[in-house]
């Protein structure tokens, strides 16, 4: 009996180690992981959006704008599909999408746009200076394209932030929902 308990304990340790083995992620992994820079913006839910509010959850952090026709709908659609497929496990997942277009994207517009993908997604907006500071902290490029439609080119990847608020990985644009699910299961399995 004692041997069985010992074996179960060893198996449990091995499983927990494997569960958070960053080297198996489909996304690009940072080593060592650093603390994700905190920020305070206007949340699409009407409250102050602070990243630290989601400590204890796994956060997917992306940047874009609601008028984007090329990148954002695909990324958000993929994240919504991943969240849905995770089922109950997805309860500890929070998607945060920060606009690069504060002129047009106020909290209400972000809320309506994100709700079309997943009602739990939170958007962030603020002054141009506030948003530029966040982009700088995360190495995000965003540039307004000259023309009548006021479009932007912007970084298209999504950061994966673990429950402890560490910037663990970066998923380049174009990965399918299955890759997100794979990595999120690993991060969500960690206590």
Partner 1 sequence: MKVSRRHWLAIALLAGVLGTIAWAALKPVQFASREEVFEIPKGTWARRMSGDKVEILPAQIRLTLGVRDVLLLRNLDDVPQVFGPTIMMPGQSFRLPFEVASSYTFACTAHLSGQMTIVVEPQPLSPWARLRWRAVSLWKAVA
CB nearer partner 1, residue 103 or residue 137:
137
Q: Which range of residues in 52-60, 63-71, 91-99, 131-139 is near partner 1 by CB under 8 A? A: 131-139
Q: How far is the CB of 120 from partner 1 (least distance, A)?
A: 26
Is 30 among the residues that bind partner 1 (CB under 8 A)?
Answer: yes
Helix (H, G, I), strand (E, B) or coil at 138: helix
Q: Hey, CA dihedral for 34, 56, 114, 127, is it positive or negative?
A: negative
Q: How far is Cα 138 from Cα 176, in angstroms, rounded to an integer?
A: 23
> Which listed residue (6, 10, 28, 46) binds partner 1 by CB under 8 A?
28
Does 184 help bind partner 1 (rule: CB under 8 A)?
no
- Phi and psi at residue 58, to the nearest 5°: -90, 130
User: Cα separation of 82 and 72, whole Å?
Assistant: 15
CA distance 107 to 99: 10
Smallest distance from the beta carbon of 29 to partner 1, in angstroms? 5
- Residue 104 phi, psi (nearest 5): -100, -30
Q: Give the phi and the psi of residue 41 in degrees, each rounded to 5.
A: -130, 180
User: Site map for partner 1, 5-24, x if CB under 8 A?
Assistant: ------------------x-
Task: State the minimum distance, in angstroms, from the CB of residue 131 to partner 1.
Answer: 16
**In this complex, which beta carbon is closest to partner 1, that of residue 9 or of residue 141?**
141
172 touches partner 1 by CB under 8 A: yes
Size of site (CB under 8 A) for partner 1:
18
**Contact (Cβ atoms closer than 8 angstroms) between residue 26 and residue 171:** yes
Copy the structure tokens of residue 65.
């704008």
Binding to partner 1 by residue 112, rule CB under 8 A?
no
Q: Which residues bind partner 1 (CB under 8 A)?
A: 23, 26-32, 34, 137-139, 141, 155, 157, 170, 172, 174
């Amino acid at each position: 009996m004692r041997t069985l308990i010992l074996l179960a304990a060893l198996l449990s340790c091995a499983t927990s180690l494997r569960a958070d083995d960053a080297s198996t992620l489909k996304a690009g992994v940072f080593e060592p992981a650093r603390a994700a820079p905190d920020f305070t913006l206007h949340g699409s839910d009407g409250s102050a959006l602070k990243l630290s509010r989601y400590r204890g959850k796994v956060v997917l952090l992306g940047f874009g704008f609601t008028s984007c026709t090329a990148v954002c709908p695909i990324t958000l659609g993929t994240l919504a599909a991943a969240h849905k497929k995770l089922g109950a496990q997805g309860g500890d997942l929070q998607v945060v999408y920060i606009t690069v277009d504060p002129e047009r994207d106020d909290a209400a517009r972000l809320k309506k746009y994100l709700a079309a993908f997943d009602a739990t997604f939170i958007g962030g907006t603020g002054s141009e200076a506030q948003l530029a500071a966040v982009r700088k902290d995360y190495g995000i490029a965003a540039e307004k394209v000259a023309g009548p439609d006021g479009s932007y080119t912007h970084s298209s990847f999504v950061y994966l932030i673990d429950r402890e608020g560490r910037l663990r990985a970066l998923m380049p644009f174009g990965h399918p929902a299955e890759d997100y699910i794979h990595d999120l299961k690993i991060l969500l399995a960690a206590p």
